[in-house]
């Protein structure tokens, strides 16, 4: 009797596993990375599948890593004129996450990000230089801590496809760039903490 139960459980587990595999094959989008997969339209950020990280040298001992949990962005794209694509983003500076609430409060304070006075940072693209089949350099204006400065991001188009699960056409990008915190008056402990800050962005946009 016990053996029969075990056999039944194992059979059910294998069946469930097989069904999951079939479901995955059906539901997985056919993501294509060629430029034609980047279709025209207005897109909104899928905030559940996006990340914004920053990295900065700390005393030469390590690279300090943090992230912002809440940000939003939009993309307006025309494949006939990709250099004219517009991306706008808003970052909630109070959503800083460094896995240390007390130190996060310090960094959001007046000696660093001044998040109470400037609760949002904003980015708007001004130009895009196409550098390859799926790559480009996006330049834009970044407003942070009450200051404005140009920023360039190296952008890679990861692909686009219709996603049945989200019922939307989805495009994905990876972007990296370097800003200088001194350009935005976030210069406490200059010479100890690095001035160059590396940004790493992963984003999926939806066109419904």
97 shares a domain with 2: no
Q: Mean pLDDT throughout 119-138?
A: 95
Q: What is the pLDDT of residues 167-202, one digit of tens each?
A: 999 999 999 999 999 999 999 999 999 999 999 999
Residue with tokens 């890679």: 156
36 shares a domain with 25: no
Q: Which of 22-26, 78-82, 124-128 has the highest mean pLDDT?
A: 124-128
The proportion of the chain whose per-residue pLDDT surpasses 70, expressed as a percent, equals: 88
44-54 burial string, b = 16+ CB within 10 Å, else e? ebbeeebebeb
Q: What is the pLDDT of residues 8-50, one digit of tens each?
A: 444 455 545 555 565 566 678 889 888 888 899 999 999 999 9
Are the beta carbons of 163 and 124 closer than 8 angstroms?
no
- Report the range of poorest mean pLDDT among 6-10, 84-88, 117-121: 6-10
Residue with tokens 């230089």: 129
- pTM value is 0.85
Are the beta carbons of 152 and 161 closer than 8 angstroms?
no
Q: What is the structure's pLDDT at 2?
A: 44
Rounded Cα distance, 197 and 53, in Å? 10
Q: What is the mean pLDDT of the chain?
A: 90
Rounded Cα distance, 76 and 197, in Å? 27
The strand pairing partners of 53, in sequence order, are 67, 200
188 shares a domain with 123: yes
83 shares a domain with 5: no
Please, how many CA atoms are within 13 Å of residue 168, restricted to the half-sphere of its CB? 15
Number of structural domains the chain divides into: 2
Question: Where in the sequence is the domain holding 3, given as residue range(s)?
Answer: 1-30
Q: What is the structure's pLDDT at 182?
A: 96
């Amino acid at each position: 009797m016990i053996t029969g139960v075990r056999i039944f459980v194992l059979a059910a587990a294998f069946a469930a596993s097989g069904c999951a595999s079939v479901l995955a094959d059906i539901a997985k989008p056919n993501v294509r990375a060629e430029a034609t997969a980047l279709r025209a339209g207005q897109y909104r950020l899928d905030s559940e599948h996006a990340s914004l990280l920053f990295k900065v040298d700390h005393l030469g001992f390590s690279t300090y890593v943090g992230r912002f949990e809440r940000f939003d962005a939009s993309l307006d794209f025309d494949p006939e004129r990709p250099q004219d694509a517009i991306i706008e983003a808003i970052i909630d500076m109070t959503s800083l996450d460094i896995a240390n609430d007390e130190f996060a409060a310090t960094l959001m304070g007046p000696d660093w990000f001044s998040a109470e006075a400037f609760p949002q940072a904003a980015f708007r693209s001004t130009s895009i230089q196409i550098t390859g089949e799926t790559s480009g350099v996006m330049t834009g204006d970044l407003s942070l801590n009450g200051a404005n400065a140009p920023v360039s991001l190296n952008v890679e188009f990861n692909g686009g496809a219709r996603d049945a699960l989200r019922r939307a056409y989805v495009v994905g990008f990876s972007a990296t760039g370097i800003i200088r915190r001194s350009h935005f008056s976030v210069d406490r402990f200059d010479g100890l903490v690095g001035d160059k800050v590396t940004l790493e962005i992963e984003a999926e946009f939806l066109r419904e």
